[in-house]
Amino acid sequence: MTVELAYREYGNGPPMVLLHGLFGSAQNWNGMAERLASRFRVFACDLRNHGQSPWAPTMEFGEMADDLEALIAEKGLAPTIVLGHSVGGKTAMLTALKHPEVIEALIVVDIAPVAYEVPFLGYIQAMQATDLSAGRRRSDIDAELASAIPDTATRQFLLQNLTPQDGGGYAWRINLDALAANMSSLMEFPDTSDLAYEGRALFVSGAESDFIGRHTHNAIYEHFPQAEFAVIAGSGHDPHIEQPDALFERLIDFLDSSYA
């Protein structure tokens, strides 16, 4: 069953949908959405179990692709540009493969249609075990997470999901139970060996990330034969945060050529 995705809308022009990555929200793409809004009507969405979107016990990529297709249909956006980052990128890819008629062009940021081994389940377990009761400060929660998640930038990113409660204390706005239960499938990519998206596709990677590389090119070309590649210098997995100017310029180059 699909869920009705929450979204933020910006600008006017040809439609464009943005999908964030795991543990994120539309808010993470606010700056880029505002810049793109000078040229496009941008919908920055929250995936299910993230941000302001509804919670659901399951989050297979097929379900999330259907969530996106439902939003596109409801808002009359087809055909639309879709940009997805990380897990949002896998969702965008599967949507293009399952519903190619609704996709004008595809942009995938630092992810490929392959399986990954990343210690995200450990992050979730640490977050589930954290004391969020009244009287606790954000700094207390940060310190408690530090032993399991030593990287400061990663912790600060995860802590964006803390929401203060009326009676004191905090809650996580992401559905940690559902993320944990579905983590194995989120690290995979569905069997789509019989599907291909023949439209234009741009795969953007951070130069300091290994999520996209020669080891993933065959899988990408198999499904997206018109794939183009761009590497953002000085960036890891999050070029929209680490090198937003360079990413914006590369996106505009690609999108301008789409309309040439």
Region 50-77: mean pLDDT is 98
Pairing of strands 41-45, 7-10: antiparallel
* Tokens read off for 188: 């995979």
Within-domain flag for 230: yes
Cα 187 to chain centroid distance, Å, stands at 13
Residues 188-222: pLDDT tens digits? 999 999 999 999 999 999 999 999 999 999 999 99
pLDDT interval class at 258 (50, 70, 90) = low
The single residue of 110, 237, 238, 240 carrying the catalytic annotation is 237
Which residue shows structure tokens 């960036």? 235
- Cα 220 from Cα 237, distance rounded (Å): 18
From 161, 183, 205, the end of a domain falls on 183
CATH at 14: 3.40.50.1820
Domain that holds residue 124: 120-183
Contact by Cβ (8 Å): 45, 26: yes
Same domain, residue pair 33 and 111: yes
Give this prediction's pTM.
0.96
**Is the pLDDT assigned to residue 178 strictly greater than 90?**
yes
Kindly state whether residue 1 falls inside one of the protein's structural domains: no
Contacts of 20 (CB under 8 A, 6+ apart): 26, 28, 29, 44, 45, 46, 47, 50, 51, 85, 86, 88
Mean of pLDDT values over 84-101: 98
Contacts of 92 (CB under 8 A, 6+ apart): 19, 68, 82, 83, 84, 106, 107, 108
83 and 138 share one domain = no
Confidence check: pLDDT of 260 > 50: no
pLDDT confidence tier of residue 225, bands split at 50, 70 and 90? very high
228 has which bridge partners? Answer: 202
Residues in the chain: 260
Q: Let me know: does 68 contact 17? Beta carbons within 8 Å.
A: yes
Annotated catalytic residue 237: yes
Q: Has 238 been annotated as catalytic?
A: no
Cβ 16 vs Cβ 44: under 8 Å? no
Same domain, 30 and 159: no
Could you write out the DSSP letters of every residue in 46-112? Answer: PPTTSTTSPP-S---HHHHHHHHHHHHHHHT--SEEEEEETHHHHHHHHHHHH-GGGEEEEEEES--
Whether the pLDDT of residue 259 is over 70: the answer is no
User: Does any domain span residue 141?
Assistant: yes
Residues 14 and 138 in one domain: no
Q: Are residues 16 and 79 in the same domain?
A: yes
Q: Which of 86, 205, 209, 235 is catalytic?
A: 86
Do 150 and 226 lie in one domain? The reply is: no
Residues 64 and 21 in one domain: yes
In a domain, 200, yes or no: yes
Residue whose structure tokens are 């990287």: 151
Active-site residue among 142, 177, 217, 258?
177
**20 and 88 both lie in a single domain:** yes
Among 131, 159, 183, residue at a domain's last position: 183
Instruction: Look at residue 2 and tell me if it is in a domain.
Output: no
Interval 95-153: pLDDT, tens: 999 999 999 999 999 999 999 999 999 999 999 999 999 999 999 999 999 999 999 99
Please tell me the total count of domains within the chain. Answer: 2
Is 73 part of any domain? Answer: yes
Identify whether 178 is part of a domain. Answer: yes
Residue 78 lies in a domain: yes
Beta bridge partners of 8: 44
Boundary (domain end) residue, out of 141, 159, 183: 183
Mean of the per-residue pLDDT values for the chain?
A: 96
Residue 177 annotated to the active site: yes
Same domain, 112 and 224: yes
Contact 250, 204 (CB under 8 A): yes
* Judgement on whether residues 207 and 254 belong to the same structural domain of the protein: yes
User: Is the same domain home to 108 and 204?
Assistant: yes
Do 196 and 157 lie in one domain? The reply is no
